[in-house]
Amino acid sequence: MRILIVGGDAAGMSAASQIRRRQPTWTVEVFEMGERTSYGLCGIPYYVGGLVSNLENLVVMTPEQFERDRGIKVHIRHMVTAVNPARKSVTVKNLADGQSRDENYDQLLLATGAAPLIPAGLEPGVPGLFYIRGLDDAGRIRQAAAHARTAVVVGGGYIGLEVAENLAHDGLKVTLIGRRVANVFEPELQSLAQASLVKGGVNYLPGSEAVGAAAHPDGGVAVKLAGGETVQGDLVVVGAGVRPRSELAAEAGLALGEKKAVQVDRLQRTSNPFIFAAGDCAETHHLVTKKGVYIPLALPANRHGKVAGLNICGQSEKSQPVLGTSALKVFDLGLARTGLGLDEAIKAGFRSAVKTVVKQRSKPGYFPGSGEVTVAVIYDKITGRLLGGQMAGPPDGVGHRINTLAAAITGAMTVKEAAAIETAYAPPFSVVYDPVIIACEVAEKSR
């Protein structure tokens, strides 16, 4: 049995490792167009600003380690340019010599990941204009930042905010362009993220949109805004979101789903019986809505890759539906979310979805480091079912507090049931009634 995997990051290597462990005699080969495997893209903003000093620290496991320790052959700098389902083969181009060849598979896994969205007018090619697609970009941005005094970040999402924070920490004067910031959060939390960004020293231009980029006569890049103004930066980093890399799948005739991600069932099978897909190139299933959704996140990518590997080995393991649990630090503010936002809930058909927002102390007022946590819970006013939760506050609690709500949603709890969870209290950590508990209590009382 010959298994080919396209893509050597989280989903691909998780699958490869599972297959190797369960079927030691099978052939497992991975084609990765870059030079690295299991590179943590999430760490890139922290390298770009110098908090992480060595790019290789972001690599969890190298191709050599995979080969030596797990017996998995990874062909780096090999780009799969076509999938031929009829012949059960892929066309692979060796980027080192430009030569293409066909490789046959019995089963194929597409783990091609995501690609940055490129806003019109900001196409790559302008010197000093960067996208974050891989660790090599991170290295180039770091080099540019080392000689820069000003930077422009385009995009107020996770990556944009993290890059802005890290470049500012590195001493650059940073301007952030974006219509809103942290817009996957409820408006009450967006405004907190914006305030934290500004307090951190970033020059945020609310409501702005970048529509062009060109070399600036005085050096660096001139970013043109929709309003006509231009903003100069010695370097420009665009973090405008991602899209699934699903071109190969589309050209091979595989069904695409939400946001053109490769459509998969709970077993990670595509519309072709010999082709699986997992990770940021694939659609996932939402735990609350039960519908297909495109939520590219590291933990689901790892898990779904593993499930794909198991099922390639003949098991019928179902992948866990996603909640989109995620966290973000913007200077002194942590933000986190899980499940559905209010608009998402209403759009998904929860017509009686409502939201309760509370502000509570993170620790007793007398304790040093106490701050305010804002917690939003989204729930069904009729049934009381918890549908989502979001929060913002001192970073040391928020990134973990969200998991209490993720667990509660996974356990299909109502807000009343979630309000009864017994959380830990000691002054260095929290208050007697944790803000998460208060939010659920207030929600229950509001019904």
Q: Which residues are identified as catalytic?
A: 42
428 binds its own copies per the rule CB under 8 A = yes
The SS3 call for residue 376 is strand
334 binds its own copies per the rule CB under 8 A = yes
Closest CB 111 distance from its own copies, rounded Å: 15
Kindly determine how many residues on this chain lie close enough to bind its own copies according to the rule CB under 8 A.
Answer: 69
Distances, alpha carbon 19 to alpha carbons 69, 311, 314, in Å: 14, 9, 10
Closest CB 82 distance from its own copies, rounded Å: 31
Site string for its own copies, 242-271 (x = CB under 8 A): ------------------------------
CB 287 within 8 A of CB 321: yes
Closest CB 72 distance from its own copies, rounded Å: 19
Alpha carbons within 13 angstroms on the beta-carbon side of residue 418 total 36
Residues 362-391 that bind its own copies (CB under 8 A): 364-368
Q: Which of 176, 327, 373, 443 binds its own copies (CB under 8 A)?
A: 327
Stretch that binds its own copies, among 36-44, 62-70, 99-107, 241-249 (CB under 8 A): 36-44
Stretch that binds its own copies, among 35-43, 92-100, 189-197, 350-358 (CB under 8 A): 35-43
d(CA 95, CA 89): 19
The SS3 call for residue 390 is strand
Distances, alpha carbon 186 to alpha carbons 77, 113, 329, 338, 433, in Å: 41, 27, 16, 12, 23
**Nearest CA among 61, 93, 97, 65 for reference residue 79:** 93
Residues 139-178 that bind its own copies (CB under 8 A): 158, 162
52 binds its own copies per the rule CB under 8 A = yes
24 binds its own copies per the rule CB under 8 A = no
273 binds its own copies per the rule CB under 8 A = no
- Give the tokens for residue 366: 């007398």
108 binds its own copies per the rule CB under 8 A = no
121 binds its own copies per the rule CB under 8 A = no
Task: Please give the span between the terminal C-alpha atoms of the chain, in angstroms, as a whole number.
Answer: 57
18 binds its own copies per the rule CB under 8 A = no
87 binds its own copies per the rule CB under 8 A = no
The torsion of the CA quartet 95, 100, 103, 109, rounded to 10 degrees, works out to: 50
Q: Which of 215, 229, 291, 433 binds its own copies (CB under 8 A)?
A: 433
404 binds its own copies per the rule CB under 8 A = yes
25 binds its own copies per the rule CB under 8 A = no
Closest CB 128 distance from its own copies, rounded Å: 26
Closest CB 74 distance from its own copies, rounded Å: 20
Query: Quick one: 33 or 323, whose CB is closer to its own copies?
Result: 323
Those residues whose C-beta lies under 8 Å from the C-beta of residue 363, and which sit 6 or more positions away, are 369, 370, 371, 427, 428, 429, 430, 431
CB 404 within 8 A of CB 336: no
395 binds its own copies per the rule CB under 8 A = yes
Query: Quick one: 264 or 327, whose CB is closer to its own copies?
Result: 327
CA 129 to chain CA centroid, nearest Å: 22
11 binds its own copies per the rule CB under 8 A = no
Closest CB 248 distance from its own copies, rounded Å: 25
286 binds its own copies per the rule CB under 8 A = no
Closest CB 26 distance from its own copies, rounded Å: 22
Closest CB 400 distance from its own copies, rounded Å: 3
Secondary element (H or E) of residue 281: none
Burial of residue 103 (CB within 10 Å: 0-12, 13-18, 19+) is middle
Q: Which of 148, 323, 345, 439 binds its own copies (CB under 8 A)?
A: 323
Those residues whose C-beta lies under 8 Å from the C-beta of residue 144, and which sit 6 or more positions away, are 128, 130, 234, 235
Q: Which residues of 183-213 are buried (b: 16+ CB within 10 A; e: fewer)?
A: ebbbeebbbbbbbbbeebebbbbeebebbbb
* Residue numbers at the binding site for its own copies (CB under 8 A): 10, 40, 42-43, 46, 51-52, 54, 57-58, 158, 162, 287, 297-300, 302, 320, 322-329, 334, 336, 338, 364-368, 395-404, 406-408, 410-413, 417-418, 420-430, 432-434, 436
